[in-house]
Structure 1
Amino acid sequence: MKKVLPFILIIVILIITASVMLSVRTTKMVDWEESFNEKSNKPYGVSILYKELPNLFKDKKIRTVYHQPASYLSVNSEDDNGKHMAKGTFMIIGNSDYLLDDSIDELMRFVSEGNTLFISDYVYPQKIHDTLQIDIDYIANEKDSISYLSFENRKLKSTKIDRNEGDNYFSGFDSINCKILGYSKIDYKHVNFIEVPFGNGHVFLHTEPKIFTNYNLLKEERYQYVEDVLSYLPDADLYFDSYTKIQKNYYGEVEKTSNLSWFLEQTAFRWAWYTALIFTLLFMIFNAKRRQRVIKIIKPLQNTTVAFVKTVSNLYFETQDHKNLIDKKITYFLDKVRSDYNINTDSLDDEFVTKLASKSGKKKEDIKPLIKYINWLRTKSEFFEENLIKLNRHIEAFYNN
């Protein structure tokens, strides 16, 4: 055994070295998926904004909320036992479609008590539209991919944004009570930034979340526009809505203490971690053989169906075969629709949405984003992890609503 061990160690080291060299030389494709993930360094993540929040809101507490707002705000209220009272500004950048009705109600209560809500997204959940009496429309960018962003206050600096297929803008709002703060422009100006009073507080709505992403903050001087947008927010504690949600904690714990996934994304850290695990495993194997014989354990027969499914799914996930997983999730969802509601799924159009809403008892507004996203995925040939996460979120929302 002592003679074999050095050869095994040499082989392991050679394998690890070759793997590191290959991973370093491999050119990764740029992922332009709009995740608005505060942990992501990709072009359309918001890690730069997230890291700069303490500088933008100096001497103020920045809390990252990993819960649904309904869970977090209700726990940290006068009626519950959270560690602190939630007061200040609640910020959401993109992905506001995850908000459920009870979370929107809790956010509106939070605002009515004299606090602030800031949302930058292309569209908002229907309940927000109904509550604040706003309408949003879309204009396509037919000439090029550039849009121009400006403020009502001309002392503030305007900017432009590229890689933009079109603009979402406010086509309807209460012009008496609402205050226009900014515009977007393709052929002509549209309102894209407003302030809406609600109770004793205010809601700030913005329709171009891409301006807050890493790509735009590092491009030219577009960061100045972001600073000017955030200058409208009050000088108060900030609650940043995280891209990643965790289960509700009734004791008010909202800060994540570690994130191993970030280390695994870094080549050096990843292979250092793998090396440590391999050598630890080898030590345990050879050390255990010297101390005692392996005791044979006879396990009772068990149902391995669930384990088999987990093994297969993990195999797809580990090989980054997102397309296969997405295809299977779509196929399973449509098969369940056919069996549960007896609806033909050959054509996923407006008629299909109407039938599914009628037979499932769910709102058409809750079903449309899922069907629209499935149709969009069917036009793509390349997929990323964010596509799989977003599809899973839509499907879970369909069953939970």
Structure 2
Amino acid sequence: MKALLNISKPSILLLIVLVLASCTKTNWTENYREKEKSPFGTYIIHNEANELFKNQEIVTLKENFYDYLYFNYEVTGADFGSYICIKNSASKLTEDGVTDLLSFVYDGNSAFLSLNYFSDSLLEQLEITTNNLDKDVYLVEDLKALKGEFYLENNTFEKDTFNFDRNIRKHYFVTYNEDKTIVLGSAKIDGEKVPNFMKIYHGKGAIYVHSNPVVFTNYFMLSGKEKYAENVLSYVPSATVFWDPQIKRSEYSNESDEDNTSVFKFFLQHKTLTWFLFVSLAGVLLFMLFNARRKQRAIPIIHPLENTTVAFTQTISSLYLKEQDHKNLVTKKIGFFLEKVRTKYLLNTTNLNKEFIHNLAAKSGNNLQNTKYLINTIITLHKRSECTQEELLVLHKMIDNFFKKQDDGNTK
């Protein structure tokens, strides 16, 4: 694989100048944001992904990976892609999200996770434990003093030592299942080499775990340490890359982007257009001022009788919205779905097992994998004492798509 950063020295100097000129004070916070050009953002490695993963499609997720799989993924027996997440902690990977990710890997795909903190659910399902000797270090000055020495176990890199001068926490893997795990890299801590990069086989696929995501940030990409990041990511199989920024759709789409130019900024750059803008605004204000009073009395509008059923429904929905009783709505939604399944497909909904899922998929004409995701979601939400608004919306969308596909099939 070719070098990760095919950037000339003038380009690097220009990028540094732009970063320094764009802010009065450097932000040394470890944010791991793909659009952040501060030292510990991941702008460079994300934007150079096309060079790193040659001839591979790069998909930056704008929704939870669980939702993306539900609407796009079907088990075909061939590699669908590789999931990549480089963050402080994968907070969007809930317990259910971890299960879906591992199911995705089990089918023959791969995942790469480089995190400072692994959730208990992830540690348990991967059969690993970690130790972070610097978990209580947060201040910039204290992190600056943390240096590290990394190694890669492959024979190709056995003579290479990768030294990092700051922000390297003593975070490593302690125990793992030796029958299905290969140690690919290590860090030297107190004179002893300990694993910090491993490959864990899971079904037909594999998941790669790395304990020091800071080495993929802008600071080290511009400090001559990009070779380590390139070597680590070279283990990811050649397939479509799903890059997870771990943020909500609205946050991602509304985030400021330097490529977008404001219309008003364009007007203000030209003196004639600036005057045109001011004169137009003044004209609109004068028009509104002189036409504020009506020239004749307004003719009263006689409204037809309102539909009280609609008003009642709106009142009830507003009550649920005010009370934030999402669990109650989820319960009613599940009851509605099961009742419709009983009456429409004549199926017994007492036991939602594999046989029921197969029968429901066959009778409704829906995809088996999508039907399985829907029933598993219903079972999970039914067991919970509380539900979030996001979970309610996902359940509503899944049930709506289930019956919509059935209706489309009948129309055809």
Task: Give the TM-score category using the shorter length.
Answer: 0.5 to 0.7
205-214 or 95-104: bigger deviation? 95-104
Give the match for residue 190 of structure 1.
194
Q: Distance in 2 between matches of 1:190 and 1:138?
A: 12
Q: Distance in 2 between matches of 1:207 and 1:398?
A: 30
Q: Partner letter of residue 197 of structure 2? A: F
Q: Percent identity?
A: 27
1:200/1:247 CA distance change after superposition, 3 Å:
farther
| Aligned: 1:112 with 2:97 | no
Matched residue SS, 1:263: coil
Q: CA deviation at 1:160?
A: 1.6
Matched residue SS, 1:166: coil
Q: Distance in 1 between matches of 2:22 and 2:183?
A: 48
1:244/1:284 CA distance change after superposition, 3 Å:
farther
Q: CA deviation at 1:35?
A: 1.1
Matched residue SS, 1:155: helix
Q: 1:284 aligns with which of 276, 280, 302?
A: 280
Q: CA deviation at 1:398?
A: 9.9
Q: Distance in 2 between matches of 1:71 and 1:165?
A: 34
Q: 2:240 aligns with which of 237, 240, 246?
A: 237
**8 Å contact kept, 2:130–2:175:** yes
Q: 1:204 aligns with which of 201, 208, 226?
A: 208
Q: CA deviation at 1:400?
A: 7.8
Q: CA deviation at 1:99?
A: 1.3
287-296 or 132-141: bigger deviation? 287-296
Q: What TM-score comes out, normalization by structure 2 length?
A: 0.57
Deviation per CA, 1:319-378, whole angstroms, max 9, x where unpaired? xxxxxxxxxxxxxxxxxxxxxxxxxxxxxxxxxxxxxxxxxxxxxxxxxxxxxxxxxxxx
1:28/1:154 CA distance change after superposition, 3 Å:
farther
| Aligned: 1:43 with 2:39 | yes
**8 Å contact kept, 1:57–1:235:** yes
Question: How many aligned positions are there?
Answer: 264
Matched residue SS, 2:70: helix
Matched residue SS, 2:237: coil
Q: Distance in 2 between matches of 1:180 and 1:65?
A: 29
| Aligned: 1:139 with 2:140 | no
- The runs of 5 or more residues in structure 1 that have no matched partner are 1-23, 80-84, 249-255, 299-396
**8 Å contact kept, 2:151–2:162:** yes
1:263/1:280 CA distance change after superposition, 3 Å:
farther
Q: Distance in 1 between matches of 2:193 and 2:58?
A: 34
111-120 or 147-156: bigger deviation? 147-156
Q: 1:163 aligns with which of 166, 169, 172?
A: 166
Matched residue SS, 1:122: strand
Deviation per CA, 1:282-313, whole angstroms, max 9, x where unpaired? 23322225656444389xxxxxxxxxxxxxxx
Q: Distance in 1 between matches of 2:82 and 2:22?
A: 43
Q: Distance in 2 between matches of 1:64 and 1:205?
A: 20
Q: Distance in 2 between matches of 1:280 and 1:102?
A: 56
Give the match for residue 263 of structure 1.
258
Give the match for residue 90 of structure 2.
96
Q: 1:175 aligns with which of 162, 178, 181?
A: 178
Deviation per CA, 1:163-199, whole angstroms, max 9, x where unpaired? 2263110011112221000011232221100000111
**8 Å contact kept, 1:74–1:106:** no
Q: CA deviation at 1:228?
A: 0.5
1:86/1:37 CA distance change after superposition, 3 Å:
farther
Q: Partner letter of residue 88 of structure 1? A: G
Q: CA deviation at 1:51?
A: 1.1
Name the larger-Rg structure.
2
1:119/1:260 CA distance change after superposition, 3 Å:
closer
Q: Distance in 2 between matches of 1:297 and 1:163?
A: 69
Q: Distance in 2 between matches of 1:398 and 1:96?
A: 19
| Aligned: 1:63 with 2:59 | yes
Q: Distance in 1 between matches of 2:197 and 2:66?
A: 25
Q: Distance in 1 between matches of 2:50 and 2:187?
A: 28
